[in-house]
């Protein structure tokens, strides 16, 4: 959805955050109604997606994770097609085959989302290496959470990205919990300490402030784009909802209510909203709501996939290997 951002981009950042917030809230309503099986909401973490993707070009590549709707929307994915994907409908970006956990939108430069924790970094490192081999200055970005920082695939990605000076930005959205396990109870050392161990420049950023995120991302993207190699950004953030919408029923008790309320005081929607004129916010809010009402309507009206043809689009055809062998 195109907007009319102010010169410094404050309105556009607000628009993106508002779009993500209301998209997730609509999706949760559809979970409650039984239309969507469940999602991992990113409410509270919108500044990470909005700020990082504001530093990217359309032809840059993003690898997302299980909490990835915000990444897709911030990169330019059509809200209606994404909502249809969550509903498992044929008009979805993956024709209903990817759902909430595994959506991809090549038109927006999102090459996929992995529900296996930390593995998007390995794919992004490979994509970044391939982009560098092609020439040009495109950049790859991977999003992962604090629960991924002990995964072997992630640390192997750090190693290869550093060795080969891959143009990749590795973004840790540290929301302080891996499902229900507090980061301090599961992770020895620090996120940036891991990066520094591989010689990768790293920084910790206030992940609730989209402007600070955008500026840190711009520096990291510039480094990658100009041949400086990888960077790691640790964005300190917080999810206001449960790890997954199953918590709407289970009511797990692993976070103190006072802790949640403290983080709600630093809501990225409010932080960015205060940088935009009230009349502009009202206009943006109305535009976003109209867009999402139409997105939900069109997604619910879309047909489900044909259950008699489950393998369609599962395997690629017409592939040609580097050696020139063609596979029909």
CA 217-150-181 angle, 5° bins: 95
DSSP helix/strand/coil, 86? helix
Q: Which residues of 11-34 are buried (b: 16+ CB within 10 A; e: fewer)?
A: bbbbbbbbbbbbbbebbbebbeee
Range list of β-strands (E), 40-109: 61-65
Q: Please state, in angstroms and rounded to a whole number, the distance separating the CA atoms of residues 266 and 178.
A: 21
Identify the pLDDT of residue 324.
Answer: 64
Read off the tokens for 36. Answer: 């969507």
pLDDT band with cut points at 50, 70 and 90 for residue 3? very low
Identify the pLDDT of residue 236.
Answer: 98
- Candidates 53, 90, 89, 80; CA nearest to 68 is 53
pLDDT per position as a tens digit, 308-325: 877 777 777 776 666 665
Identify the pLDDT of residue 326.
Answer: 56
pLDDT per position as a tens digit, 69-100: 999 999 999 999 999 999 999 999 999 999 99
Report how far apart the first and last C-alpha atoms of the chain are (Å, whole number): 38
Q: Please state, in angstroms and rounded to a whole number, the distance separating the CA atoms of residues 235 and 49.
A: 10
pLDDT per position as a tens digit, 141-200: 999 999 999 999 999 999 999 999 999 999 999 999 999 999 999 999 999 999 999 999
For residue 305, the 8-state DSSP code is P
Question: Across residues 209-233, what is the average pLDDT?
Answer: 98
Percent of the chain with pLDDT over 70: 95
pLDDT band with cut points at 50, 70 and 90 for residue 307? confident
Tokens 């599962």 found at: 314
CA-based torsion, 117, 160, 45, 254: positive or negative: positive
In 172-308, alpha helices (H): 183-186, 191-197, 210-225, 247-250, 257-264, 268-273, 278-301
Residues 6+ apart with CB under 8 A from 212: 51, 205, 206
Q: Please state, in angstroms and rounded to a whole number, the distance separating the CA atoms of residues 219 and 221.
A: 6
**Contact of 77 with 105, CB cutoff 8 Å:** yes
Identify the pLDDT of residue 7.
Answer: 40
Tell me the pLDDT of the chain averaged across its residues. Answer: 93
Identify the pLDDT of residue 99.
Answer: 93
* 179: alpha, beta or left? (left if phi > 0; alpha if psi -120 to 50): left
Question: Across residues 221-234, what is the average pLDDT?
Answer: 98
- Candidates 169, 283, 302; CA nearest to 230 is 169
Read off the tokens for 56. Answer: 């990217």
pLDDT band with cut points at 50, 70 and 90 for residue 37? very high
5 has pLDDT over 80: no
Q: Please state, in angstroms and rounded to a whole number, the distance separating the CA atoms of residues 273 and 267.
A: 10
Question: Across residues 23-40, what is the average pLDDT?
Answer: 97
- Candidates 70, 247, 153; CA nearest to 62 is 70
Count of beta carbons in the 10 Å neighbourhood of residue 253:
8
For the chain, which domains are there? Answer: 5-301 (3.40.50.970)
pLDDT per position as a tens digit, 104-158: 999 999 999 998 999 999 999 999 999 999 999 999 999 999 999 999 999 999 9
Q: Please state, in angstroms and rounded to a whole number, the distance separating the CA atoms of residues 172 and 209.
A: 15
pLDDT per position as a tens digit, 244-275: 999 998 989 999 999 999 999 999 999 999 99
C-alpha distances out from residue 244 to 38, 40, 103, 146, 252, Å:
7, 4, 17, 16, 11
């Amino acid at each position: 959805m195109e907007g009319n951002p102010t010169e410094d981009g404050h309105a556009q950042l607000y628009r993106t955050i508002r779009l993500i917030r209301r998209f997730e809230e609509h999706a949760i309503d559809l979970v409650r109604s039984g239309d969507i099986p469940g999602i991992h909401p990113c409410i509270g973490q919108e500044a990470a997606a909005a700020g990082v993707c504001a530093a990217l070009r359309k032809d840059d590549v993003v690898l997302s994770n299980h909490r990835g709707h915000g990444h897709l929307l911030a990169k330019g994915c059509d809200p209606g097609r994404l909502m249809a994907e969550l509903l498992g409908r044929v008009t979805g970006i993956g024709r209903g085959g990817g759902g909430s956990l595994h959506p991809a939108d090549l038109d927006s430069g999102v090459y996929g989302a992995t529900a296996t924790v930390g593995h998007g970094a390995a794919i992004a490192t490979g994509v970044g290496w391939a982009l560098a081999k092609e020439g040009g200055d495109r950049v790859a970005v991977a999003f992962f959470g604090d629960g991924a920082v002990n995964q072997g695939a992630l640390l192997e990605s750090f190693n290869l990205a550093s060795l080969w000076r891959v143009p990749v930005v590795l973004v840790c959205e540290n929301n302080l919990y891996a499902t229900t396990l507090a980061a301090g109870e599961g992770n020895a050392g620090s996120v940036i300490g891991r990066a520094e161990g591989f010689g990768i420049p790293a920084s910790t950023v206030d992940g609730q402030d989209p402007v600070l995120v955008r500026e840190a991302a711009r520096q990291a993207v510039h480094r990658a784009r100009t041949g400086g190699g990888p960077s790691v950004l640790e964005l300190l953030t917080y999810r206001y909802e449960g790890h997954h919408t199953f918590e709407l029923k289970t009511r797990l008790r692993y976070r103190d209510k006072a802790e949640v309320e403290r983080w709600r005081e630093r809501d990225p929607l409010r932080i960015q909203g205060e940088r935009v004129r009230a009349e502009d916010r009202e206009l943006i809010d109305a535009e976003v709501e109209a867009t999402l009402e139409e997105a939900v309507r069109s997604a619910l009206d879309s047909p489900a996939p044909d259950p008699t043809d489950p393998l369609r689009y599962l395997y690629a055809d017409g592939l040609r290997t580097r050696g020139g062998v063609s596979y029909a």
